[in-house]
Amino acid sequence: MFNFTLSNPVHACIAGIFGVLILASAIVFCMHKGDKEGKHKELTARVKSWWFMIAIFSTAMLTTPMVSIYFFAFLSFLAFKEYISVIPLRRADRRLLFWAYLTIPVQYFFVADNWYGMFIVFIPVWVFFLMPFRLILAQQMEGFLSSVATISWGLMITVFAVSHAAMLMQFPALAESPAGGAGLVLFLMVLNQGNDVAQYVWGKFLGKHKILPLVSPKKTWEGFLGGMVTTALIAVVLAPFLTPFNMGFALLAGVGIAAAGFIGDVTFSALKRDIGIKDTGALIPGHGGILDRIDSLSLTAPLFFHFVRYFYY
Amino acid sequence: MALARQIFYVFLIKPLLVLMLGLNVRHMDRLPERGPHVIAANHNSHLDAMVLVSLFRWSDIPKIKLAAAKDYFCRNAFMTWFSLNILGIIPIERHGGADNPLAPVFQALDKGHIVVIFPEGSRGEPEQRQPLKYGVAKLLEAMPEIGLTPVFMHGLGKSLPRGEALLVPFVCEINIGEMLRWAGDRKRLITKLDESFSSLDQEIAPKPWN
């Protein structure tokens, strides 16, 4: 099952990620050593959590494509659960939420089956129509609209959007990109998560001019643009190994992932402001909840998927 | 039988709770390490007791006992065996009968157990606080050297409320309070416990459940 070889670009890239992680751990360890007040405690927790997350993700990527699809399905489950746990709902919505959970196995079945037509209409069309009907059966109309709207939005973001990352696995290998779907998933995840880290680091060191101070006071133009340049550079470096993109498309993909990641990120900041919470959970020490980690993925995954599908498949 | 209990909680219940619901524990360091000790928790769901026992380490699990209604948990031979040996309950006579319904709890505390009590009595309406009963104050009055740790939970009443058999996963928030001591009279202790629950509840800042 684990046939690890560096001549496989996906395996080489995962080895590279671990290299970066070891480097980051060394830097944080040195910062931690010279620091007596423990102000880097959160950073240490963050890096430690990265080890866990990357270990789990790598295992999913290195076994079989099916395991990667299960991985994203489980990610959707955790994200949706976190979402409905922090938003205001009614007792009358309980039964509907049970059905809403069942959309996860169905949606990922369409992914596993590579049934593109159903994959793309199931949640936005069928669930969107049938869900309000199930809610009507509970016969409690007060708050009906807000329940339908919040649950639909949650399914779009946590199930429909995230499943696009899994659907990338179904793109076959091409002559110019033998890494196929797995390469695309890895490319997306590295750029998306890398962009978050790069934005954070650039913002921390150079951040001055706030972009949306009322939504997310820590987001700055310096962080955003620094992140974008860094992400575009990583895209250009990785694209020849993992994707069929030429240099122009690699740049475009990098810039697009950075921009969409930013929008996804601030969308969730706005949601958290609205309901008055800082993090959506505490599952990942130093990061918050699953949603705090994959907020940017919610927009980049569909965008990147359709970009690839339109131009290359 | 202690081993069966440890396996039940550590290898079955805890992984299920963590994967299905997700346990978000605050102030884990306030959890008592040794008995005799009393834990008072709010009561929303059948899952409450399971979650509380799952917080403890493998070696501590045999020490944890749950004060629970005898008429419900010992309603037939299988339930009696399961409740006493696997869940680890102390059966309490709710409706008169015994002279002192708390006598079995005193025995457990004498043996150095950590006893979990739900001072709200029955589960009531999900995620709504009930007035606290005085049993826990009577315990501490008789054994004033014993500490009382309040634990407030939110979310289990949404996942599995009273009268529902269908589990719908919601993240479970668990907030452990600072230890309380016997305060000189029953009313004052109950007021302190109630205030502690309120501040633990506020710290979680749960979303309304209309």
DSSP string, chain B: -HHHHHHIIIIIIHHHIIIII-EEEE-GGGS--SSSEEEEE---STHHHHHHHHTS-GGGGGGEEEEEEHHHHTSSHHHHHHIIIII-EEEE--SS-SS-TTHHHHHHHHTT-EEEE-TT-S--STT---PPPSHHHHHHHHSTTSEEEEEEEESHHHHS-TT-------PEEEEEPPPB---SSHHHHHHHHHHHHHHHHHHH-PPPB-
- Comparing CB atoms, the residue among B171, B207, B209 nearest residue A81 is B171
CA–CA separation, A280 vs A81, rounded Å?
Answer: 10
- In angstroms, the Cα distances linking A258 to A10, A13, A190, A291, B66 are 22, 20, 11, 18, 52
Number of domains in chain B: 1
Total domains in the fold of chain A: 3
Judge if A74 and A58 occupy the same domain.
no
Asked if A283's CB is within 8 angstroms of B207's CB, the reply is no
Pair A309, A186 in one domain: yes
**Residue B209 in domain:** no
CB within 8 Å: B164 and A94: yes
More confident residue, A120 or B2: A120
The reported pLDDT for the residue numbered A243 is 94
Provide the β-strand partners of residue B26: B175
Cis preceding linkage at B131, omega within 30: no
Q: Is B117 domain-assigned?
A: yes
Contact call for B207 and A275, based on CB within 8 A: yes
Helices (H), A63-179: 65-86, 94-112, 116-121, 128-137, 144-155, 162-167
* Interatomic CA distance for residues A55 and A284, integer angstroms: 14
A198 and A161, same domain (yes or no)? no
Q: Which residues of A touch B24 (CB under 8 A)?
A: 281-283
CA distance A98 to chain B (A): 6
Mention every residue, 6+ apart, whose C-beta is less than 8 A from residue B99. Answer: none
User: What does each of the 313 residues of chain A score in pLDDT, given as a tens digit?
Assistant: 456 777 888 899 999 999 999 999 999 888 877 766 666 788 888 899 999 999 999 998 988 889 999 999 999 999 999 999 999 999 889 999 999 999 999 999 999 999 999 999 999 999 999 999 999 998 888 999 999 999 999 999 999 999 999 999 999 998 888 888 999 999 999 999 999 999 999 998 898 899 999 888 889 999 999 999 999 999 999 999 999 999 999 999 999 999 999 999 999 999 999 988 888 888 888 888 899 989 999 999 999 999 999 999 8
Structure tokens at A209: 């001019």
Domain boundaries, position A145: 66-170
* Residue tagged 């990120």 (tokens): A265
pLDDT of res. A36: 65
| Same domain for A207 and A127 | no
Is residue A237 less than 8 Å (CB to CB) from chain B?
no
CB distance from A115 to chain B under 8 Å?
Answer: no
- Decide if B168 touches A, using CB distance below 8 A: yes
Q: How many Å apart are CA A85 and CA A70, to the nearest integer? A: 22
Instruction: Give the domain range for residue B23.
Output: 2-204
From chain A, the residues in CB contact with B170 under 8 A are: 81, 84-85
- In the prediction, which pLDDT does A6 show? 78
Can you tell me the mean pLDDT for B72-92?
A: 92
pLDDT of residue B129: 83
Is B210 contained in some domain? no
Question: In chain B, which among 73-132 make CB contacts under 8 A with chain A?
Answer: 126
Round to whole Å and give the CA distance between A180 and A170. Answer: 8
CATH of the domain at B98: 3.40.1130.10
User: What pLDDT does residue A269 have?
Assistant: 92
Position B164 scores a pLDDT of 86
What is the pLDDT averaged over residues B97-116? Answer: 87
